[in-house]
Amino acid sequence: MEVRWEVFLIILGAALVTFIPRVVPLMILSRFELPEWGMRWLNYVPISVMAALIGQEILLNDGKFSSIANNVELFAAIPTFWIAVKTRSLLGTVLVGVISLMILRMFF
């Protein structure tokens, strides 16, 4: 149950460089009235971040393109998107996604 000194320093440093980007914009930007274009720009951030994360998760495998034929995650994404559109339920979407991949894994 020991904590090595070097590992502790790594965790402390990593925690600090993670903490700052998390809190500084909230602390500073909430003080100002942002210009209209700034608000409009921020409005697209959630869409862009989520789409970028999904794209990398589904299309890439260890930093390389997964071949389309073997990419079970890409196929599992189809029912997942469909359920998300139909039900608008986050929990339902997660469950259908996991079950889809599990079923696909049995066959491929």
Partner 1 sequence: MSTQNIQLDAIPSPKQEDSFLKGVKDCIPTLLGYLSIGLAAGVVQKTAGLSIAEIALISLMLYAGSAQFIAAGMIAVSSSPVAIIVTIFIVNLRHILLSAALSPYFRHLTPLRNMLVGTLLTDETFGVAINQTVNKQQISEKWMHGLNITAYLNWFIANIAGAFLAQWISDPDQFGLQFALPAMFIGILVISMMDRNKIKLDLVVAILAVIIAVASSFVFSGSVGVILATLIASTVGMVLEKWK
Residues between 39 and 78 that touch partner 1 (CB under 8 A): 39-60, 63, 65, 73, 76-77
Least gap, CB of 64 to partner 1 (angstroms): 8
Determine if 99 is a binding residue for partner 1 (CB under 8 A).
yes
In whole angstroms, what is the distance from residue 65 CA to residue 43 CA?
Answer: 30
Q: Which residues are within 8 A (CB) of 71 and not within 5 positions of it... i.e. 6 or more apart?
A: 58, 59, 61
Tell me if 54 sits within 8 A of 78, measured CB to CB: no
CB 49 within 8 A of CB 57: no
Near partner 1 by CB under 8 A: residue from 68, 69, 90, 107: 90
How many chain residues interact with partner 1 (CB under 8 A)?
A: 80
Contact with partner 1 (CB under 8 A): which of 67, 68, 69, 88? 88
